[in-house]
Amino acid sequence: MTRIMEARAMHKSYGQVKVLEDVSFDLEEGEAHVVIGPNGAGKTTLFRCLSGETRINSGTIMLNGQDVTGLAGWQRVQRGIGRSFQVARIFQDMSAFENLIVAIETRERNEKGIWASFGHIAPRRAVMDEAERLVHELGLEGTLDDPAGTLSHGDKKRLELAMSLALRPKVLMLDEPTAGMSPSDRSEAVRLISDVRARYGLTLLLTEHDMEVVFGLATRLTVLHHGAIIASGEPHKVRADARVREVYLGQH
Ligand SMILES: Nc1ncnc2c1ncn2[C@@H]1O[C@H](COP(=O)(O)OP(=O)(O)OP(=O)(O)O)[C@@H](O)[C@H]1O
């Protein structure tokens, strides 16, 4: 297996609060690596550090063998890290389709440089075709012309996923993708994420609280507790780990 990401000895504090303490973390190509842990364990912070949204205080992060520790989030996106769009990043007044067009054009600008943004007024046919394909694959047909801000929670999540895929990432990071969903929407989300992972040959990194989602998707499971990793490995082995059951899984 090829190691895509290798983070070593990461420390992260917010003021006096130590959130990550000596965390080392690997991501292998093709795996679906799920990070779980109690509320406040540091999962979102770990995500933000790996994606470059926030800087670690010490440690190193390598991506495909290159040191990206000092690089900003957008520079890591250019190197293949796709972080699911936060709901706030969707342009609420624009339609789902227009949001997708923007995401695809953003990728093209990243690929070709700033000059790609000049020279066309209407979206080109290829961009429209790609947006239509994503709409179809993600089941967004019924929502196309509605302002994104008026979409249901489940459809917003689908749109976020479509916008993340538009960036053609090698690694897709999803922070609690099923948060706030009904049980049936959850099962649908698991099916969709598995489907997208297989179709795009993606490496997945996600956090999740729902155990059906966790065990439905994970090929590797890592458990964070008070900002430290207490177990990592095959899901069924981690599930049986006494310490993990004590601090987290025993309550589920
Ligand atoms: N920007 C910030 N400034 C100050 N403290 C923060 C900040 N972000 C997170 N924290 C603190 O860091 C700790 C870990 O938070 P984090 O959101 O990473 O945990 P989590 O495991 O994702 O939790 P949850 O499961 O509830 O989402 C918490 O104590 C939180 O209050």
Whose Cα sits closest to atom 7 in ligand 1? 14
149, 185: one domain: no
24, 140: one domain: no
End residue of a domain, out of 138, 168, 198: 168
Give the tens place of pLDDT for each residue, 10-44: 999 999 999 999 999 999 999 999 999 999 999 99
End residue of a domain, out of 116, 134, 168: 168
Range from 7-16, 64-73, 179-188, 205-214 that averages highest in pLDDT: 7-16
- Average per-residue pLDDT for the chain: 87
197, 138: one domain: no
75, 191: one domain: yes
Top pLDDT among 122 and 19 is at: 19
244, 196: one domain: yes
CA-CA-CA-CA dihedral for 116, 81, 191, 247, to nearest 10: -160
Stated length of the chain: 252
52, 162: one domain: no
Give the tens place of pLDDT for each residue, 207-246: 999 999 999 999 999 999 999 999 999 999 999 999 999 8
For residues 123-150, give the mean pLDDT. Answer: 88
Distances (CA, A) of 82 to 73, 74, 107: 10, 9, 11
Residue 243's CATH number:
3.40.50.300
Confidence (pLDDT) at 88? 45
Residue 197 alpha carbon to ligand 1 centre in Å: 28
Number of domains making up the chain: 2
Residue 251 alpha carbon to ligand 1 centre in Å: 20
Complex ipTM: 0.95
41 lines ligand 1 (CB under 6 A): yes
40 lines ligand 1 (CB under 6 A): yes
> What is the residue range of 137's domain?
87-168
End residue of a domain, out of 120, 138, 168: 168
